[in-house]
Structure 1
Amino acid sequence: MLSPKLQDALNEQMKNEFFSAYLYMAIAGYFESEDLPGIASWMRVQALEEMTHGEKFFNFITDAAGRTDFRGFEAPRNEFASPVEAFKYSLKHENFVTDSINKLMDLAKAESNHAAQIFLQWFVTEQVEEEASFGLILRKLERIGNDGNGLLRLDEELGARVFVPPTAGA
């Protein structure tokens, strides 16, 4: 059973996860316009991953006899001065998501909702991976600087990423 406060917070996080998918699709569009299809593809895969995160929240809320509440959100940025700026924006967003997940975990602990804590633990771990991934790509882009060959190599490397749906229970 979910308290009204926890249910509201879970619905807010579900919104954040679906917004993340929307944001990464917008950034994919930017990379497509910059003729970097590999990085665009990487962002599309990231968007699919975020959609599954939103679905996980949807399923948890309904499984816990809660009520989902779909909420609107602002449009994401669509234009960036450079790939570095796009990844700085993305990493800042992941930092926001991490903070949101941590606050949600704090609430679940304060309410002694053990099921929510177990559910949220996966996201706590996932956010470590998300921030590390975006941070690594950002550092590579900063190292590349204005080297067009380096950017094309990174584009090729990131284009190899494929979406792997999570396994049941993950």
Structure 2
Amino acid sequence: MALDKKVGDTLNAQINKELYSAYLYLTFADYYEDRGLKGFANWYMVQVQEEVSHAKILRRYLLDNDYQVKMAAIAEPDKTFTNDLAPLQAGLEHERYITAAINECYQAAYDVHDFRTMQLLDWFVKEQGEEETNASDMIKNMELFGSDPKGLYDLDREYQARTFVAPTMPM
């Protein structure tokens, strides 16, 4: 069964959104590096790897379904930060945007009864739930502990331990 054009176009657009996410999170990592918070920078560098892997999963899916992938320009992030909480808040806002975009992809597949694509997107729906929870938890942690130098140090050390684990897709 050929991939519906609207479904393919929506997934192709999502590739760009995932790559933009990586680009955006690089700016978050840079902010924290400049502040000397290498753990927070590490957290976002892992996020960069995750977002690129999400784009690669979608790209592979389109290619495997004989759909021509079209790479679009990645917009320049326009965020600037004045405090350590601001990138975390921007991260949650962005994850909510990506959740809405994944839902649009799902809706496109649902509208044409493309159950195979819906199955792929089930993984992304679950992943976005985890992404929003992580982003929200980081905000709560910063609000609770970030104003205390020792608390901020401990958070930074905790985030420094995060490592990238390549996602495994259900088959």
**1-structure distance, mates of 2:81, 2:169:** 37
* 1:83 to 1:77, Cα distance in 2 relative to 1, 3 A: farther
Q: CA deviation at 1:154?
A: 0.3
TM-score when scaled to structure 2?
Answer: 0.95
Name the amino acid aligned to 1:109. Answer: Y
TM-score when scaled to structure 1?
Answer: 0.95
Report the equivalent of 2:14. Answer: 13
Give a deviation string over 1:35-92, Cα, whole Å, max 9, x none.
Answer: 0001101110110011100000000011111010111132114531112111000100
Q: CA deviation at 1:127?
A: 0.3
Q: Which runs of 5+ in 1 are unaligned?
A: none
CA-based RMSD:
1.3
Moved over 6 A (4+): none
Question: Which secondary structure does the structure 2 equivalent of 1:83 belong to?
Answer: coil
Q: How does 1:1-170 map to 2 (within 5 A)?
A: 1-77=2-78, 79-167=80-168, 169=170
Contact kept, 8 Å, 1:105 with 1:117, in 2: the verdict is yes
Matched residue count? 170
**1-structure distance, mates of 2:111, 2:169:** 28
**1-structure distance, mates of 2:41, 2:88:** 12
**2-structure distance, mates of 1:127, 1:108:** 18
**2-structure distance, mates of 1:17, 1:146:** 32
Question: Which secondary structure does the structure 2 equivalent of 1:66 belong to?
Answer: coil
Contact kept, 8 Å, 1:30 with 1:78, in 2: the verdict is no
Overall identity of the aligned pairs, in %? 34
**2-structure distance, mates of 1:90, 1:28:** 11
**1-structure distance, mates of 2:107, 2:170:** 22
**1-structure distance, mates of 2:141, 2:16:** 31
Give a deviation string over 1:111-155, Cα, whole Å, max 9, x none.
Answer: 111111011000000000000001001111011242111111100
* 1:145 to 1:156, Cα distance in 2 relative to 1, 3 A: closer
Name the amino acid aligned to 1:9. Answer: T
**1-structure distance, mates of 2:167, 2:86:** 30
